[in-house]
């Protein structure tokens, strides 16, 4: 890599100052005048392998196995320290820093949970950088022929921060991993990691910002591309399949227009989506974007995406964007068996963390405060996901499976199919299932049926049964892997329903939980009703009078209905759910 110093020493002086002051996630006012010099320097300095791979590639999904997590040690060090504390238990943590001794001193002081127990699994990479936002400028992980060998991919960064833009190359050199780069015409592409998520099988999501920044009015690109031209680049360098790069309308009040501020893939078919109160802030546009996805795209399995909705918390004054920062629980990070989540205030965090723990059973879900007076990173339009970057393992054992859905079939066994692949081949695979996780699992050998697919059967069970299962595979090399990656503590689950009611147990209420209770602004009810069955939900006051109609539509796929109670007077109310299952009710208090 050529040195940048002779090209624009003044630009780097400003960048070095930013290491101590901290550059914002958005473009700083003084950086506007730096864009032309930055763009010229990027065009003059090709880095990495600048032509597309000559073989098929696959972009890693975030829930896959990772070998390293990268952070840059600059502003918000209290949050960074907490990330290091938990991440080092899962993988190597690479801290890009200017002075390792200073970082070690901070990790060993009494702040933010006290000294780290040790410095195991931590690497200090002393290299120059500009800012904390490594998600955006750090490398993406790609694999040759799905699983053969790991490589990295670096885009042009959409900020005039040349040191940040070179971090990917420094990481590739340290790790000894080949790196491809969209930094030189005719294969230049501007993009950011916060505006990208992939399912690991050729589908990706971004906001339309990626088209805008590579189009005729882009500030950083040297090659002008159409939307189709952007798609082609993503196919050549990242294996995103034609017609599977899903671009969503930009939101009005998201200052950076990065998709990770309100949406995240939890697996190949599940979208975690931030939800504002009805009609407020970016809620209407988010809903339009979700409907666009559901109306035009299926998951890689050919079925509609599952939705898990999570509230977007307001400010301390109850405000939402544009009158407050963009608080979100979607800006979380998978680190093997741990998920780190930004938190804000307990009254909302308990709900956000509960939804994630229910959606990701077996994972260690840990909240890190991003909204206190000393570490208010969310005020800069970013949180945990924005300041971390994972590098995938060099020896992946890939397992993909579409979870079994609730069924009314109590007579026939249940077929489990999985796509399993390793570069040395698969020696064998097993399906483990149980109706009681405390009693252990029963193994069933899976059979190879060709095309890297393996199958096994779970015996039929009567109505009212809940079945838990996971998959284990062994490669010819001896490497082993499970999916979910947290198994057996985590699992997939499905229910055998009663055909007459749609409930797993005809003797219990459809309302399985109601929280938080008491509630101030938002009440969430989880319902055990088959997805797609029409239900109505309403609120009755103490006298039995209906005061609010909440829902009259098919049951959401994640089993939750969000209920705004902000306009209700304090007191005790009854939530009533009615449908083919009958009528169920539960009481709650409004503070």
CA distance 12 to 560: 50
> What's the pLDDT score for residue 4?
40
**Percent of the chain residues past pLDDT 90, beyond the cut:** 79
Retrieve residue 301's tokens. Answer: 């399995």
Return the minimum-mean-pLDDT range out of 43-52, 81-90, 479-488. Answer: 43-52
> What's the pLDDT score for residue 541?
86
> What's the pLDDT score for residue 500?
65
CA distance 254 to 245: 21
> What's the pLDDT score for residue 503?
52
Position 363 pLDDT exceeds 60: yes
CA distance 540 to 586: 10
Mean pLDDT of 308-331: 95
Position 13 pLDDT exceeds 60: no
β-strands 179-182, 149-155: how paired? parallel
Crossing angle (nearest 10°) for helices 35-44 and 9-21: 110
pLDDT in tens, 337-352: 999 999 999 989 999 9
DSSP state of 556: P
- 3-class SS letters over 351-374: HHHHHHHHHCCCCEEEEEECCCCC
At residue 278, the 3 state secondary structure works out as coil
Residue 310: what are its φ and ψ, rounded to 5°?
A: -135, 135
What is the DSSP annotation of 92-127?
A: EEEEEES-HHHHHHHHTSSSTTSS-S--TTEEEEE-
> What's the pLDDT score for residue 150?
98
CA distance 224 to 329: 35
> What's the pLDDT score for residue 291?
94
Position 10 pLDDT exceeds 90: no
At residue 452 the predicted structure's pLDDT band, cuts being 50, 70 and 90, is very high
> What's the pLDDT score for residue 554?
87
Mean pLDDT of 142-160: 97
Residue with tokens 């799905």: 146
Inter-CA distances, 468 with 250, 273, 487, 488, Å: 39, 25, 11, 10
At residue 581 the predicted structure's pLDDT band, cuts being 50, 70 and 90, is low
CA distance 556 to 273: 13
Return the minimum-mean-pLDDT range out of 227-231, 234-238, 500-504. Answer: 500-504
> Average model confidence (pLDDT) for the chain?
92
At residue 11 the predicted structure's pLDDT band, cuts being 50, 70 and 90, is very low
At residue 7 the predicted structure's pLDDT band, cuts being 50, 70 and 90, is very low
At residue 544 the predicted structure's pLDDT band, cuts being 50, 70 and 90, is confident
- Domain(s) of CATH 2.60.40.10: residues in the chain: 398-495
> What's the pLDDT score for residue 505?
47
Q: Which residue has the higher pLDDT, 254 or 46?
A: 254
Count other C-beta atoms under 10 Å from residue 38's C-beta.
Answer: 23
- The structural architecture, per CATH, of the domain 398-495 is Sandwich (2.60)
> What's the pLDDT score for residue 509?
62
> What's the pLDDT score for residue 8?
42
Count other C-beta atoms under 10 Å from residue 317's C-beta.
Answer: 7
> What's the pLDDT score for residue 210?
98
Return the minimum-mean-pLDDT range out of 123-137, 205-219, 566-580. Answer: 566-580
Strand order in the sheet with 447-450: 398-400, 414-421, 453-458, 447-450
At residue 347, the 3 state secondary structure works out as helix
432 contact partners, CB below 8 Å, separation of at least 6: 441, 442, 443, 444, 469, 470, 471, 472, 487, 488
CA distance 143 to 131: 28
CA distance 157 to 167: 11
Model-level pTM greater than 0.85? yes
β-strands 245-248, 204-207: how paired? parallel
Of the candidates 96, 93, 97, the one whose C-alpha atom is nearest the C-alpha of residue 119 is 93
Q: Which residue has the higher pLDDT, 531 or 506?
A: 531
Return the minimum-mean-pLDDT range out of 212-221, 359-368, 505-514. Answer: 505-514
**CA-based radius of gyration for the chain:** 25
At residue 16 the predicted structure's pLDDT band, cuts being 50, 70 and 90, is very low
Position 288 pLDDT exceeds 80: yes
**Percent of the chain residues past pLDDT 70, beyond the cut:** 95
Of the candidates 411, 205, 398, 377, the one whose C-alpha atom is nearest the C-alpha of residue 293 is 205
- The structural architecture, per CATH, of the domain 9-392 is 5-stranded Propeller (3.75)
At residue 548, the 3 state secondary structure works out as strand
Retrieve residue 50's tokens. Answer: 């600048």
> What's the pLDDT score for residue 587?
87
Inter-CA distances, 449 with 372, 480, 584, Å: 54, 20, 45
Mean pLDDT of 362-370: 97
At residue 207 the predicted structure's pLDDT band, cuts being 50, 70 and 90, is very high
At residue 502 the predicted structure's pLDDT band, cuts being 50, 70 and 90, is low
Q: Where are the beta strands (DSSP E) in 77-227?
A: 92-97, 122-126, 140-144, 149-155, 179-182, 197-198, 204-207
> What's the pLDDT score for residue 506?
41
CA distance 241 to 232: 9
Retrieve residue 240's tokens. Answer: 């995103």
CA distance 512 to 523: 13
CA distance 551 to 565: 13
> What's the pLDDT score for residue 591?
83
The CA-to-CA distance between both ends of the chain, in Å, stands at 61
Of the candidates 491, 487, 490, 434, the one whose C-alpha atom is nearest the C-alpha of residue 465 is 434
At residue 3, the 3 state secondary structure works out as coil
Classified by CATH at the fold level, domain 511-590 comes out as Immunoglobulin-like (2.60.40)
Retrieve residue 494's tokens. Answer: 């499905």
Element (H, E) at 552: strand 546-554
- Domain(s) of CATH 2.60.40.1930: residues in the chain: 511-590
As a residue count, the chain comes to: 591
At residue 214 the predicted structure's pLDDT band, cuts being 50, 70 and 90, is very high
């Amino acid at each position: 890599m050529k040195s940048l110093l002779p090209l624009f020493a003044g630009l780097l002086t400003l960048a070095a100052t930013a290491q101590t002051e901290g550059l914002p996630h958005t473009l700083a006012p003084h950086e506007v005048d730096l864009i032309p010099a930055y763009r010229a320097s990027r065009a003059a300095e090709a880095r990495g392998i600048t032509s597309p791979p000559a073989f098929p590639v696959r972009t890693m999904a975030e829930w896959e196995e990772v070998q390293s997590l990268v952070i840059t040690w600059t502003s918000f060090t209290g949050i960074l320290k907490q990330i290091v504390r938990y991440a080092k238990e899962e993988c190597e943590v690479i801290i890009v820093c200017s002075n390792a001794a200073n970082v070690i001193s901070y990790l060993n002081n009494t702040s933010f949970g006290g000294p780290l127990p040790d410095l195991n699994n931590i690497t200090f990479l002393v290299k120059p950088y500009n800012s904390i936002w490594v998600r955006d400028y750090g490398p993406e992980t790609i694999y040759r022929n799905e699983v053969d060998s790991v490589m990295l991919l670096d885009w042009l960064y959409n900020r005039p921060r040349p040191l940040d833009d070179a971090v990917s190359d420094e990481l590739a050199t340290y790790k000894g991993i080949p790196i491809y780069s969209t930094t030189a015409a005719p294969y230049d592409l501007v993009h950011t990691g916060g505006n990208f998520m992939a399912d690991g099988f050729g589908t990706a999501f971004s906001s339309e910002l990626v088209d805008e920044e590579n189009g005729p009015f882009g500030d950083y690109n040297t090659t002008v591309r159409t939307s189709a031209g952007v798609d082609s680049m993503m196919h050549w360098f990242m294996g995103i399949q034609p017609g599977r790069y899903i671009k969503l309308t930009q939101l009005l009040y998201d200052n950076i227009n990065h998709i990770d501020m309100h949406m995240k893939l939890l697996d190949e078919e599940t979208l975690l989506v931030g939800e504002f109160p009805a009609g407020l802030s970016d809620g209407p546009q988010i809903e339009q974007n979700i409907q666009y996805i559901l109306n035009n795209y299926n998951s890689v399995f050919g079925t509609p995406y599952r939705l898990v909705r999570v509230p977007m918390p307001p400010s301390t004054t109850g405000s939402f964007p544009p009158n407050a920062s963009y608080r979100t629980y979607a800006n979380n990070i998978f680190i093997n068996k741990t998920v780190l989540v930004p938190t804000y205030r307990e009254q909302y965090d308990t709900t956000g963390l509960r939804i994630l723990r229910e959606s990701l059973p077996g994972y260690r879900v840990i909240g890190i405060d991003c909204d206190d007076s000393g570490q208010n990173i969310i005020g800069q339009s970013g949180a945990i996901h924005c300041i971390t970057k994972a590098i995938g393992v060099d020896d992946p054992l890939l397992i993909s499976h579409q979870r079994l859905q609730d069924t009314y079939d109590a007579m026939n066994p249940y077929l489990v199919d999985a796509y399993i692949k390793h570069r040395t081949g698969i020696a064998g695979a097993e399906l483990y299932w149980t109706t009681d996780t405390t009693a252990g699992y029963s193994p069933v050998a899976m059979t190879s049926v060709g095309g890297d697919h393996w199958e096994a059967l779970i015996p039929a069970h009567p109505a009212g049964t809940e079945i838990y299962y996971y998959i284990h595979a062994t490669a010819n090399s001896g490497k082993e892997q499970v999916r979910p990656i947290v198994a057996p503590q985590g699992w997939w689950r499905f229910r055998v329903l009663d055909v007459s009611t749609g409930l797993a147990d005809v003797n219990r209420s459809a309302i399985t939980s109601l929280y938080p209770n008491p509630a101030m602004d938002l009440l969430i009810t989880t319902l055990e009703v088959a997805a797609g069955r029409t239900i109505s939900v309403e609120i009755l006051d103490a006298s039995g009078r209906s005061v609010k109609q909440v829902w009259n539509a098919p049951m959401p796929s994640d089993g939750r209905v969000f209920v705004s109670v902000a306009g209700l007077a304090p007191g005790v109310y009854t939530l009533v759910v009615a449908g083919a299952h009958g009528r169920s009710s539960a009481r709650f208090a409004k503070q």
